[in-house]
Amino acid sequence: MKKLTLALAATVMMASPVFAGDAAAGKGKSMMCSACHGAAGISAVPTYPNLAGQKEAYTTKQLKDFKSGKRNDPTMKGMVASLSDADMADLAAYYASLK
């Protein structure tokens, strides 16, 4: 029972908004992204995906995958190279907040 309680508590903590990115901070970090993905996260170029409204966890995962090389795209690899985990979470929160 004690292990179950600890597991449940850990799950609740990990799902808590405390661990989410800061959308306001993400907006300030989104300038480079907007060049390809649009100022409001809607790309004018069909080959670049829209980021507006994407789920926060999804966007964070994609950014981490580009940085680690799990997803291979030379342009994105360069764009995410200097981003910290907090930067990625903030950007993901910002784009998730857009319609």
Encode pLDDT of 67-82 as tens digits: 999 999 999 999 999 9
Task: Provide the 3-class DSSP secondary structure of residue 19.
Answer: helix
Question: Alpha carbon 88 to chain centroid distance?
Answer: 5
| Residue 74, token pair as written in the block | 């030379």
Q: How far apart are CA 65 and CA 59, in angstroms?
A: 10
Q: Which fold has domain 22-97?
A: Cytochrome Bc1 Complex; Chain D, domain 2 (1.10.760)
pTM: 0.80
Radius of gyration of the chain (CA): 15
Encode pLDDT of 8-59 as tens digits: 555 545 544 555 899 999 999 999 999 999 999 999 999 999 999 999 999 9
